Each structure stands twice: as structure tokens, then as C-alpha cells.
Structure 1
Amino acid sequence: MYASLQDCVNDLEKSGQLLRIKSPLDPNLEIAEVHRRIFESGGPAILFEKVIGSPFRGLSNIYGTFERTDWLFRKTLKKVQKVTELKADPANFLKNPTRYLSTPFTALSALPTKALFSKPAMYGQTTIDQLPLIKSWPMDGGAFVTMPQVMSLPPGCRNMMQSNLGMYRIQLTGNDYKTNEEIGLHYQLHRGIGVHHKEYLKSNEPFRVSVFVGGPPSHAFSAIMPMPEGLSELTFAGMLAGRRFRYAFDDMGHAVSTDADFVITGTIDKKRQMPEGPFGDHLGYYSLTHDFPVMKVDRVYHRKDAIWHFSIVGRPPMEDSSFGYLIHKLVKALTPGEFPGLRSINAVDASGVHPLLLAVGGERYMPFRERVPEEIITIGNRILGSGQTSLAKFLFIAADDDDPKLDSDNIEHFFYHFLQRVDWTRDLHFQTKTTIDTLDYSGSGWNAGSKVLIACRGEVKRELAKEISSDLTLPKGYNDAHVALPGILALQAPKFTSQENATEEMEILSNNLKGQNLEKFPLVLVVDDSKFTSATLNNYLWVAYTRANPSHDIYGVDSYVEHKHWGCLGSLIIDARIKPHHAPELVQDPTVTKKVDKLFSKGGELYKFK
């Protein structure tokens, strides 16, 4: 559909979906502030024509709304969906052959092709310090590439079908990196580049890596697509672009995406790591400084009139929320094959994706038995044992035979259904001392924490309260009770000081609540700001599930342990207060905010987006 990012820009402008900003803007926080405001207003894609300190233009917010994301891929999305439908069930072709007549032609675009003559990405060369060095948040360790397509190949291999293309953030400046010579490469658990890295550590070959920026919009999206291991993201990039992925190798042996706007080539130092970060990340907090691989820069290629494609991440929803939306549309047909019995799953964007999963599964066996959770526990364990879904902390899974219309995407209704039926003596299943998302600092260590699978099935057990009884009494220090959602009570508590003190505080609270009629409030949240937590659905989802480690922060009224199974007879309590070991919340720089205000004030270039 698009042969280049410039083609996309032209198309966006022609349809009235592009804003050109002509004022010179500072890549140090100022551009990020402008992006956030325009995104929050539901505004268009943004072309920053004058990035201070760089000869190159910058482009962001092209995926800024779900509608625009669909529009970008309007000519190919349905074709790719048909391919996934056939992959999920080849018999679909026999059932409806006319629907899938074009599918073989779509599949042809999946095959990468070597560029023999035209190599636009290699038009010229520049240096790291000439790139638009976008810094998003005040405590960021430097400038980062936020829409990178990082390519690696196994040792001794030039077969692009064995390549890995991933969106692993790249730190361009700051910390101890030598300017123009070294950059940081951050990748996490369950990422394909880690497999290659391990292979190179056993090999004498240099670990060459290429970082692509820009190119057709499908390329950036493909870099975050959760492809099955062993299947290249380039196949998906080609199908979604309607154009085969074009590549070449330079004289140093580096892979080059010839349709990209920029290509940074280099070699990973096998013998050392360097401090990378902090970085304001998509959970709404900073990911902190840790040692990660360092890449020695060889060359920085660029197109003629290249455009630096970037985004700004932070507390969701943000522009990258569209990635989750599109992934869900494309893999929906594949879900039953990957997780037999699963009807729907929602990696909740407002909670930062990995902290919270909602799911609906089928109880297909032994229909003559009492309706209790059985198969959905198996489904839940498979979810928590598979790839990136294994990074979830909280998984709520309900049975579809309780309500065939139940949909995990309808979050409020899902919680209403769930809390009406949940049995805290039976439905909680913990995994302790395990791995969680690298970016989640609510656990017991870096990449370390716990999970809880809550599997619910059966008749309605209770009605849920929407108002708080006037006779509710709370222990000293607890106040300002609010209803976050029907059946969910948010209590404002004293500041968290230590785990030992928290255990005592929760025991006092549990004993206090035990003597009160809270049957209609099966879930109690202990938070720093109950009014904020209860103000919106998104606030509840963010606070409750990004600030709690199940093994440490779940308590209960009349809790007990029986044969290693933990449960409670009364309300479940989640301590979702900020803890001392948590990463700082993202907060904008007031000086920059004040400066940007002028652009959005009357007479300013961006006044209409105020």
C-alpha cells in the first residue's frame, strides 16, 4: 500500500489527517509535550518540520486513534485477517472458497525480496548526534528511539525468514555511552533477539544488529507483533504493507531494510553491558537503570529527505494503545488454536497490558457435574505459561456457560459478572517467586514477582453495592471510602512504610471489616488516593493492578490456609498503595509545560488543539 513513510505522510495530508508544525521545537521534552496534548485531543498525525539540532523532520501520532490505524491499513487489513482465518482453520477454504480466492496473492507478499538496484535507505550517511534526539520525560536517561525495528539473524545466516524483528528500545545518548560510537539495546523476557544473543555467545562470529526507523507503517507494527517462534516478522510486514519486505546487505554484512528512512548498523559487545535508562515507559512509571547490552555503532544510513518516526509512551492510553487494538483484531482467529477452549482474552491497556488479563473460557467437559471452575483453570494456566501472556500478574477468567454473551472487552460488565459469582475460598490460585514483566517494579525484584489466577464459575452468589452504607466504620488512618465499581470499595490509607507494617495494618483492617456487612463489596482496595482511584474506570485499572504484587499485597477478611491453598471467607483486600521500591510515576516538567502553553494559547500555532 505504501512504499515509504513519505507515501504515508502524503496520504495522511491528502485526507486531512496530518498536522504540519512549522515552529522550531526542542526534542528535549518540548516535542513530547506537544505530542501528548495533540494525542489527548484526538488530533491528527504530526509532522515536526523543524527539530532543533537536527536536519531531519520528525513524525508521530500516525497510529493516534483506532480509526486512523484502521485507515492506514484499509487496503490490506481484511486480506491479512483472511490469511489468519485460514491458518487457524484451513477447512474454512472449503466452507467458503469465494471468500478466500485472493488469499494466495496476499501470501505472496509475505516473502521478503532482496533489493538488487534501488536501495533508498542507503542514500546517505549521518551520525547519531544529527538524529532527532527525542527525550520524552524529565528523568529519562537520554534520547531514545521509540519506534525501532531491531533486526538480528542467527550466526552464519543470511536467510531473512530466520530473522527476528522486534521493537526493543534504543538509548542514543546519555549515561556513559560514547557519543556516535555506542548506543544501548534494551530487550526483555520472551523476546526473539535473546535467542540469537545466546547463540552468538557460543559463536566466534560478531553479533551484528540493525536498527530500522521509518519505512512503511506496517514495518513498525510488525516489530511488535507476537509471532510464533521461528516465523519471521518480515512475512507479516509484507502482507500488511501489500508489498514484499525489501532488504540488502552492506559491505560489512549488516542487514538493511531498503525501504526504511534510517538504518543504524552495529555490533553487540559480547563481553560487557552498560547502564541503560531510566525511561518513562508505557505502564505510566519509569523503568529504572539496569545493565543491558551495548551496541558499537558502525554506520547510520538515511534516505533522501528522511523522516524520523517516533512515538511518546506513558500511562495508557497512548498512541501505542493502537498496537494492542490491531493485534487483537488480527490474532482473534488464532486464539482458539493457541489456547483451546478460550473464547476471548483482553490484555487490559489501561493497566499497562501485562499486569491484568481478563478472559472467558469454555467448560466443555462433563456437563452433568456441578458448575465449578475446572477447564478454565487449565486454560488459565496455559495462558500464564505461554510467551508474553506469561508476564501477566492478575488473570481473571470466567466461564462462558454462566453467560454466553460475556465479553472480556466489556470491562465493567466483566467485573460485575465476576464479582457476583466469585468464591474467594475456592477461586484463587497463586504462583509465587516467578517472573513478571521487566518494566513492572511492583514485584519482589527486577523481573521477579508473583501471579494470581482467579477462575470463577457458577450461580450468582451476591448482589453488588453501588453505594456505601452510612454505618460503615473504619480503623484509625483509613478514610474517604469510595465505590470504584459496583462491588469494589476503595479506602484511602496511610502511606505504605514497610511490608511488616503493612501486614499488621491489613490485619487490623480485616478484623475491623469482619464485623460489618460487606457481602455486597467482595473486593476492597487499599490505596493512597481513593477519590482518584474511583474517578474513572481507567484510574481503577491502573492503580489496582500496577501497584500490587499478588503474593505480598493480597489479603482477606477471615483468611486461612488449608493444605497450601489460601482463601478468605470475607472480602478480598488488595493493597494497591505505592511502595518504596516502586519506580517513580511519570510527571511532566512544569517549565516545559508553561513554554508549550504558548503554542496552544490564542494566536499560537496550535491554538485549535487547546
Structure 2
Amino acid sequence: MIYRNLKSCLDDLERTKQLVRIDEPIDPYIAAGAIQRRVFQAGGPALLFTNVRGTKFPMAANIFGTLARTKFIFRATLRRVEAMLSAKADPALVLKKPALWPGLALGAWHTLPKTVSDGPIMAHTTSISQLPQLVSWPMDGGAYVTLPLVYSESPSKPGYMGSNLGMYRIQLSGNEFEKDREVGLHYQIHRGIGYHHAEAIARKTRLPVNIFVGGPPAMTLAAIMPLPEGIAEMLFAGALGGHRVPMVKRPGELPIPAEADFCIRGYIDPGVQKPEGPFGDHLGYYSLAHDFPVMQVSEVLHREGAVWPFTTVGRPPQEDTMFGAFIHELTAELVPQVFGGVHEVHAVDAAGVHPLLLAVGSERYVPYAGERQPQELITNGLSLLGTTQTSLSKYVILAAREDDPDLSCHDVPRFLGHVLERLDLSRDLHFITRTTMDTLDYSGISLNQGSKVLWTAAGSPKRELGTALPALILPDGFSNPRFFAPGMLVLSGPAHAQPRDTHDPAMENLCQVLAKADLRGFPLIVVADDAEFTADSWDNFLWVTFTRSDPATDTYGLNGFTHCKHWGCTSMVVDARLKTYHAPALVSVAEIEKRVDELALPGRPLYGII
């Protein structure tokens, strides 16, 4: 089925018993988000809140809450889009399979938006304060749009081919924003709208911006699709949606999807910023208040019967995990084409996506050598850090396919065990310091700045990994050593007390003490605030280790050395404690969770769901 708007999608999900209506009054402050998160965690249905306090508009959530439901939504076009992407990955496939030709031609035709003079979106106007005021977490700075589709065009190349459609969070209220006249536009580093904004600033002109909410589900996926630079997201939206997206174009204005539920029109003045945030984010912490561009609101449009779609974010997995899984399946075959020599990548959701990237690559530079060592893998790693969204990765861990043709970086325990067996810690750690990093990651030395590291492993095993907790003598403040997995230990450490961009003498002392023990089988030791929590599961271990550490600042080593600016050790120790400068972790509100529990009692709307 082709969904030309959000209503047709929601109606179909309800007809197929994949959507539940909640007619009881629901507060968009904390409660709606808490319900969505609980239903997602239970693998539950999409939700339609028909009675939302403070607004006349219904809200829909968890639409993409399972991979199966996401595939169901795009079932009519999925094979065609897969064929288009496969053809790009292997052009010879098109010649070999003429049966693909009609579908590819139709998909190409659908990529072109269709200009229309009017549409449902033009039916009504409203104001920012009349929209649903979703607040997901107690410390959020105000109400936010969590599924916004932010549209802009290049000032030097206007039109669809020079457009960008991205999902950048929009703050509707709070802080210093003028009610109904201003909204905050938070776009992170390495985002397409940034290039348009830079052009406008250089020209000393305003940048027109439209924010769409709702509309064809394909636009939501298109806005987060990691497309190559120069390919407009609007084109992909048409291919995935199975129809030419009708766009209302008024003279002198940016186009608007005719079937959108809402559109906030406005512009960004050059040089104007205001504090935006805090906001609970997908790493599992708050992103704090920082200056970001301000959008001056010109008009708020909505269709008849408009529904406000939303999600909430927090420590993964969350609904955006399903976006990532769906996109991975679509684009897996393109990886070797985009990154030469790389066969598979895995941006690890449990670690917050950008903090940890695993990859299987080739090691072919010196095939006649008696022993493989990382060479091409280093090139692969630098390629991953040099383009697309993988450039935001912090820890990039690569293994050579030649050592194990069956190795997959999606089997995280086996992959890390394979790497730790082969990692030469005197040679195979490559740091990049004082570089750009993900805006939402507070482990670095400042906003948008920190370090990255490549762990590259190739050749025969260098060690046998330890499989039991060894005898350890720990200095004061360190305790509770735990065996986590082969080659990996976790310790509890004292509360961090150092300023940003500073090594901790207590960690250096720990390394000196541990160097006296026999830890040859444990190349990775993690120090956390709570070793028991960290070692309780792989999800906990990955989240704590890679979201709470900056590679250059927080990697220490037993028998550490620096030779000609290259650092190495015999076992590395990662300081994964919460730091004095980190943002706080997200914590649920007990009173709200109790109310959610009550919605699951017999006769209530979530009975049998959570």
C-alpha cells in the first residue's frame, strides 16, 4: 500500500491491529514520552493519543517501533528501492536481470517531486503555542519537536537538487525564545543545513527554512538517510514512498509537501543565536544548553484532521534504533562502494551509535608477507573517518576479513574477542587528537571537539585471552574487580575529580600497580563508577565504556610508552567513569512510571501490551 499522508498510514496500522488508540487524557509533559518508551521496550504497537492536554491536536507515537512494522509500512516499495540501491552497488546486476528494468524506471520517475498550486496543508493556520508541547525528560529546557523534517535550499543553487531535508531538533518553548515568534533550531556538526547556513551568512542574507511535521512516512526515513553529498533527500522520499511527492510552491517561498500535517515557515537571520536545551538525547544523557541558530516564525500551517507524530529519545535502544536497523539493511551492499576495502560496518546502537563503529575490512597491501599486520586497515579506518556520518565515530575498531572470512561486526562479543586476541598494543592504536566529534558527546575537551582512535587488528593471535578473574591488588579507591568477557575486566573507581582535558593521577597510579600483576591475557580493563552495573550485560558494558570516555584523555596503559609520538602499552585501561564535566544521565520519573503502570491494568488501554 502506498501512503501519501500520515492518516492513511495510521488508518492501515489500526486496521491491521498494529495501532492502539488511547482516548484517556494524556499530558504531553513527561507522560506521553514515558508511555511511548515503555510500549517500545515491550515491542508494542503504534499509539494514537486522541485526548492530549493543552492542544486540540492528536499525537501519534511508536509508528516505527519495530523493524517488522517499519518494513510493513514500506512493503509496497521496499523491493524496488533495494533493487535501485543494489544496482548502484553492482551496475552489472541491471544487465543480468532485465526484470528489474521496469521497477527501476518507475522508482526513478517517483524521485521527482511534483509542483502543485494547492494542497491539504494550506487549509488552516495556528500558532506555535497551540501545537502539542512535548517534554520528554524533567530537565528538558522546553517543548520540542522530535520528528521534525527541516527543509532548506542552497542560496546559490535553489531548487530540489540543491535542497536538504534533515531531522534537527526544534525547541518550541522555554529559554529566551519569544512566544509564537521564535523557535530554536539545533543542528549538529556535519549536517547538510550547515552548508546552506554558511552560504547565507557569507551572503549576509536570511536563510528560509520550512519545518514539516507528519506527511508521507517516507519523508521521515529520507530525512535521516545517510545519502551521498549532492543527492537530495526529497528524491529518495519519492522512491521510498512510491509516488511523486506533491509540493505546494508559492512565489518566493520554499515548497511545502501538500500532504504534510503541519508546516512551520520562517527564516534564520545571520549571526543570531540563543541558548537551546537542555534536552534528553539518544546517548542516554542530557545535551546541555548551548547557543544555536534561532528561527523566526512567519506562519504555522496545518491540514484538516492533522496528527502530530513524535518519538522520544534516551539511552538506546529506542525507536530510532529501528530507523538505524532499517537503513542498515537497505544500504549494506553499498558499504564496499562508498568505502573501498571495507566489507561491513556496524555503528553500535547500544553505545549510542557515533561513539563506537566496528568494521570488517581487507588487509591486502602486502599479501606475500609472512605475517599480516594492519596497513590497509589503517587506510580503511581513515576513510571511514573522512566522509559521511561515519566521520563522527569516536572509537573505530577494525579487523581483517582474511583472518576469519565468517567474522561479522554485528556479533559484537565474538568480534571484540577476535580483535583483542590480535591487537598489538605497542603498534595498533592510532589516535587523532583535538579533532571534531559528535555535538551530543560530552566526553571530549569541549563542545564538538575531542579525539578519535583506531584499533586495527590483523594476523595471527598475539595472546590467549583470560577467562577468569586474576588475583589483583588494587590501590585505594579502586575495588570490586569483575571478569566481564574473555580478555576484559571491569573495576569500580573513585569519583572523578579532575577538570576537562586532564589526565587523572589516580588512573596513572592504578596502571603502575596493575603492571605488577600478570595481566597478559587481559588487553582491555575498564574503570567505571559501578563495576557491577557495567559488567551486568553487554548493553551496559558498551554504553558505559564508549559513551563516558574520550580516547586520548581517558586511555591509560600498563607499561605505557611514547616513541616518536606513537603511544602504546601492554594492556590498556579505559576510564569510563562519569566525569566532572559530563552531562547527567537520563532518569525516569517514578511517579509518572507508576501512572503508566496503571494504564496497563485490566480494562485500561495498555492492558496486555506492557
Relative to the length of structure 2, the TM-score reads 0.97
> What are the equivalent positions in structure 2 for 1:357-506 lying under 5 Å apart?
357-369=357-369, 370-469=371-470, 471-498=471-498, 503-506=504-507
- Alignment-derived partner of residue 527 in structure 1: 528
- Alignment-derived partner of residue 355 in structure 2: 355
- Alignment-derived partner of residue 538 in structure 2: 537
- Between stretches 153-162 and 19-28, larger displacement belongs to 153-162
Instruction: Summarize deviations over 1:554-609 as a string: whole Å, max 9, x none.
Output: 011001011111000x2110000000110110112233223333223455332323
- Alignment-derived partner of residue 79 in structure 2: 78
Tell me how far 1:163 sits from its aligned partner. 0.9
- Alignment-derived partner of residue 606 in structure 1: 606
Tell me how far 1:473 sits from its aligned partner. 2.5
Tell me how far 1:206 sits from its aligned partner. 3.1
SS in 1 for 2:504: helix
SS in 2 for 1:607: coil
- Alignment-derived partner of residue 325 in structure 2: 325
Tell me how far 1:507 sits from its aligned partner. 2.2
> What are the equivalent positions in structure 2 for 1:253-402 lying under 5 Å apart?
253-369=253-369, 370-402=371-403
Matched, 1:57 2:58: yes
The whole-number CA distance in structure 2 between the counterparts of 1:435 and 1:15 is 46
> What are the equivalent positions in structure 2 for 1:154-169 lying under 5 Å apart?
154-155=154-155, 158-169=158-169
- Between stretches 597-606 and 65-74, larger displacement belongs to 597-606
Tell me how far 1:256 sits from its aligned partner. 0.9
Q: 1:380 to 1:156 in 2, by over 3 A?
A: closer
Matched, 1:177 2:177: yes
The whole-number CA distance in structure 2 between the counterparts of 1:75 and 1:408 is 30
Residue type at the aligned position of 1:182: E
The whole-number CA distance in structure 1 between the counterparts of 2:28 and 2:592 is 11
> What are the equivalent positions in structure 2 for 1:125-204 lying under 5 Å apart?
125-155=125-155, 158-203=158-203
The whole-number CA distance in structure 2 between the counterparts of 1:281 and 1:554 is 25
Tell me how far 1:252 sits from its aligned partner. 5.7
- Between stretches 154-163 and 101-110, larger displacement belongs to 154-163
The whole-number CA distance in structure 1 between the counterparts of 2:559 and 2:362 is 31
2:366–2:372 Cα contact (<8 Å) kept = no
Tell me how far 1:33 sits from its aligned partner. 0.9
Tell me how far 1:184 sits from its aligned partner. 0.6
Instruction: Summarize deviations over 1:472-508 as a string: whole Å, max 9, x none.
Output: 3222222111122221100011111116996321222
Instruction: Summarize deviations over 1:86-110 as a string: whole Å, max 9, x none.
Output: 1223222123333444211111111
The whole-number CA distance in structure 1 between the counterparts of 2:329 and 2:207 is 35
- Between stretches 474-483 and 451-460, larger displacement belongs to 474-483
Any unmatched runs of 5+ in structure 2?
none
Q: Percent identity?
A: 48
The whole-number CA distance in structure 2 between the counterparts of 1:512 and 1:297 is 60
Residue type at the aligned position of 2:572: L
Residue type at the aligned position of 1:125: T
Residue type at the aligned position of 1:539: N
The whole-number CA distance in structure 1 between the counterparts of 2:157 and 2:562 is 54
1:82–1:100 Cα contact (<8 Å) kept = no
- Alignment-derived partner of residue 49 in structure 2: 48
SS in 1 for 2:608: helix
- Alignment-derived partner of residue 4 in structure 1: 5
Instruction: Summarize deviations over 1:69-91 as a string: whole Å, max 9, x none.
Output: 11111121121111111122322
Instruction: Summarize deviations over 1:185-225 as a string: whole Å, max 9, x none.
Output: 01011111111111111335432100000111110111111
Instruction: Summarize deviations over 1:504-530 as a string: whole Å, max 9, x none.
Output: 212221122212221221100000011
2:121–2:258 Cα contact (<8 Å) kept = yes
- Between stretches 590-599 and 537-546, larger displacement belongs to 590-599
The whole-number CA distance in structure 2 between the counterparts of 1:552 and 1:366 is 34
Residue type at the aligned position of 2:293: P
- Alignment-derived partner of residue 68 in structure 1: 69
The whole-number CA distance in structure 2 between the counterparts of 1:607 and 1:80 is 38
1:278–1:288 Cα contact (<8 Å) kept = yes
SS in 2 for 1:102: helix
The whole-number CA distance in structure 1 between the counterparts of 2:505 and 2:101 is 62
- Alignment-derived partner of residue 28 in structure 1: 29
Residue type at the aligned position of 2:117: L
Tell me how far 1:171 sits from its aligned partner. 0.3
- Alignment-derived partner of residue 234 in structure 1: 234
- Alignment-derived partner of residue 583 in structure 2: 583
- Alignment-derived partner of residue 90 in structure 2: 89
Tell me how far 1:464 sits from its aligned partner. 2.0
2:356–2:546 Cα contact (<8 Å) kept = yes
Instruction: Summarize deviations over 1:30-69 as a string: whole Å, max 9, x none.
Output: 1111111111111000101111111111011011111111
The whole-number CA distance in structure 2 between the counterparts of 1:474 and 1:603 is 56
Tell me how far 1:461 sits from its aligned partner. 2.0
- Alignment-derived partner of residue 121 in structure 1: 121
- Between stretches 588-597 and 412-421, larger displacement belongs to 588-597
The whole-number CA distance in structure 2 between the counterparts of 1:136 and 1:264 is 21
Q: 1:158 to 1:562 in 2, by over 3 A?
A: closer
2:474–2:510 Cα contact (<8 Å) kept = yes
Q: 1:371 to 1:156 in 2, by over 3 A?
A: closer
1:156–1:205 Cα contact (<8 Å) kept = no
- Between stretches 291-300 and 204-213, larger displacement belongs to 204-213
Q: 1:298 to 1:501 in 2, by over 3 A?
A: closer
1:27–1:133 Cα contact (<8 Å) kept = yes
Instruction: Summarize deviations over 1:374-407 as a string: whole Å, max 9, x none.
Output: 1010010111111321111100000000001111
The whole-number CA distance in structure 2 between the counterparts of 1:321 and 1:47 is 21
RMSD: 1.5
2:156–2:199 Cα contact (<8 Å) kept = no
- Alignment-derived partner of residue 512 in structure 1: 513
- Between stretches 251-260 and 419-428, larger displacement belongs to 251-260
- Between stretches 498-507 and 230-239, larger displacement belongs to 498-507
The whole-number CA distance in structure 2 between the counterparts of 1:199 and 1:493 is 48
1:496–1:502 Cα contact (<8 Å) kept = no
The whole-number CA distance in structure 2 between the counterparts of 1:443 and 1:234 is 34
SS in 1 for 2:334: helix
SS in 1 for 2:505: helix
Matched, 1:103 2:104: yes
Q: 1:156 to 1:526 in 2, by over 3 A?
A: closer
2:394–2:437 Cα contact (<8 Å) kept = yes
Tell me how far 1:29 sits from its aligned partner. 0.6
1:264–1:301 Cα contact (<8 Å) kept = yes
Residue type at the aligned position of 1:320: D
2:205–2:269 Cα contact (<8 Å) kept = no
SS in 2 for 1:223: helix
Residue type at the aligned position of 1:54: T
- Between stretches 370-379 and 358-367, larger displacement belongs to 358-367
Tell me how far 1:248 sits from its aligned partner. 1.6
Residue type at the aligned position of 1:198: A
